[in-house]
Structure 1
Amino acid sequence: MSALLSPLVALAIWALATMALAPLPIRYQILPGLALLLALPVILIWVGRSYGPWPVLVGCVAAVSLFRKPLGALWRRLTRGIRKG
């Protein structure tokens, strides 16, 4: 297997992209952060098919850690809508 086609290389590039995004002002983080968040399940499924469930679990924990504040804001927004309705 070519090193460029490795799911772990894709996951490492994803992690570097999130770290490059972090120092930007929040208004510049939203759209690229959403793209990275949407790309993550695809990469994690690829990793899971190649290496099993444990690396996927580690990737999920890392993703929740990286996106804890945006995911928390999304959760509050969703639960606020449910409480009002």
Structure 2
Amino acid sequence: MTLSLATACLWAVIASLIALGPRRFHWPAAWGLIAAGVPILGWVTYENGPVWGLAVLAGGLSVLRWPVRRLFAAMHRRD
């Protein structure tokens, strides 16, 4: 396992631990996870190829489903 995949797995564990915490920390933590996850996603894609990049992207989207859902709802309302 490459260091980039290990970092992505660590990101997923941290995200799961944050989800177990109090609800008032979820949105600030989501922004932090997004800020940390984008470079990790790029690193995984660069080192391991687009298939692993898409797998990590799908995992990240499953963890951060509410911010993504609200983003799409806001984009849909603007149309």
Instruction: Name the TM-score class by shorter chain.
Output: 0.7 to 0.9
Partner of 1:63: 60
Whether contact under 8 Å (2:12, 2:60) holds in the other structure is: no
Q: Deviations over 1:11-62 (max 9, x none)?
A: 1110111000111232211112111112112001111111111110101111
Partner of 1:7: 4
Within 2, Cα distance between the matches of 1:75 and 1:64?
13
Number of residue-to-residue matches in the alignment: 79
Point out where structure 2 has 5 or more consecutive residues left out of the alignment.
none
Secondary structure (helix, strand or coil) at the match of 2:73 reads helix
Partner of 1:53: 50
What's the C-alpha RMSD, in Å, of the aligned pairs? 1.9
Which of the pair has more CA radius of gyration?
1
Tell me which moved more, 10-19 or 68-77. 68-77
| Match among 36, 58, 75 for residue 72 of structure 2 | 75
| RCO comparison, higher one (Cα < 8 Å, 6+) | 2
| TM-score normalized with structure 1 length | 0.78
